[in-house]
Structure 1
Amino acid sequence: MLALVDSRRLYTHPTVSRYAWPEGADPQTHRAYRVTQASNDRAFEEVPPEEVANALVHVLQGVPVMAQERLLRAGLERLGYRRRTDKIDKLLRYGLHVALTGGRLRLDSEGRLTLA
């Protein structure tokens, strides 16, 4: 499917995959995420790490701090998914990495996550 997309719209995460972005959208500044209504509409592997990061940030906007496992579960559900396989867990954690290294989330002294 990505072979049909203009290469200028592809964004690669070296350890994960390549994702297509709409024309004019910048993955670094994009702050939205799409909620999947049914898991057969879009496989979790098709969700860009930036959207995962955005969902995690959105979850934390309602609470001051959250344990990592609870945040990952809440982020998965916010995106419209329930089942958490090893592969999905890896992608969730990569999305968390994107949010942390992008300066949007941080770990507190007790290892919990909070907005940066």
Structure 2
Amino acid sequence: MKITEITAVPLLMRSANQPMTFFVVRVATDDGRVGLGEACDCFGVSHPTVLARIVEDVFAPGAAGRRGRRRRPGRGRRRAGDAPDAGGRDVAAQARSAVAIALTDLAAQEAGRSVSDVLGRVRDSVRVYVGSSPFLETSSATEHLDRLARLTAGAFGLGRVAQARKDALAALVPASVRVVDFVWPDGLDRPSWTGFRRDPAATRPMEQVAPEEIGNAMVALCRASAGMTRDELFAQTLEVFGYRRRTSAQVAVLESALAAATSAGRLTATAFGLLTA
């Protein structure tokens, strides 16, 4: 059983909250078998097309003709699907995991066993639960006062909201949950909060996204990519919130969030000009 082709399959599924992305690898062999593997794309932080590029450029070229069998743990110095220039962390590890899972699928097919048997199944069933809550990234913990006032007025059928009404609604917000122009849930520990909301439709001006939320997105992006330049980070951060072009006002917001994240030790600038988390 020898590999004839490795195909990367980035997927996009639309949902009620936001588009969801997935990544699958398809490994075909000369005896007609097909193994499938999946990789986590970090809920959109590592985009599936990035994983696809790694598989296509690093793993696939040298795979043709190789045995379609995953090595057992501990055998040999290199793991299945390894490539010397791929790296062993972050997106490279995610791409490799998809290839390794596909090879495990092929090994199970060749042995006439299930994948769980090949991996050493110890039980016949596993209890799971299904929840209706969306991912953390689908809702932010904070709202800008202006946006909160408009959302509140909209709930009562008011399309246009005069400044006087906005001020009246803002006055109803307890001082204990208000930080400058942002409203936070009571009891939330802002320094330890790491959530952010991806907003492909750009429903919020960047000026109405809390600096903490922008900083969280920056940290997640730098961690997933093993480091970014300042310009790359700004472009990717804007894309998280639905913007592809940057304005001077947006850059000022990004600079402020970056300074706060760096000051808190969450991001570090290397000697090579990369920002890492």
TM-score bucket (shorter structure) = 0.7 to 0.9
Aligned-residue Cα RMSD (Å) equals 1.5
Partner of 1:15: none
Q: 5+ unaligned residues in a row in structure 2: which ranges? A: 1-148, 150-169
Partner of 1:114: 276
Q: SS at the partner of 1:66?
A: coil
Which residue of 28, 35, 39 maps to 2:198? 35
Matches within 5 A, 1:1-116: 1=149, 2-12=170-180, 18-39=181-202, 41-115=203-277
Residue 81 to residue 25, structure 1, CA distance change in 2 (3 Å)? farther
Q: SS at the partner of 2:191?
A: coil
Q: Report deviation, 1:87.
A: 0.7
The one-letter code of the counterpart of 1:38 is A
**Whole-Å separation in 1 of the counterparts to 2:188 and 2:239:** 25
The number of residues matched between the two structures is 109
**Whole-Å separation in 1 of the counterparts to 2:249 and 2:236:** 17
Worse-superposed segment, 50-59 or 80-89: 80-89
**Whole-Å separation in 2 of the counterparts to 1:28 and 1:79:** 21
Higher radius of gyration, 1 or 2: 2
What TM-score results when the alignment is normalised by the length of structure 1? 0.84
Residue 26 to residue 83, structure 1, CA distance change in 2 (3 Å)? farther
The one-letter code of the counterpart of 2:173 is V
Q: 5+ unaligned residues in a row in structure 1: which ranges? A: 13-17
Q: Report deviation, 1:111.
A: 2.5
Q: More relative contact order in 1 or in 2 (CA 8 Å, sep 6+)?
A: 1
Partner of 2:109: none
Residue 72 to residue 9, structure 1, CA distance change in 2 (3 Å)? same
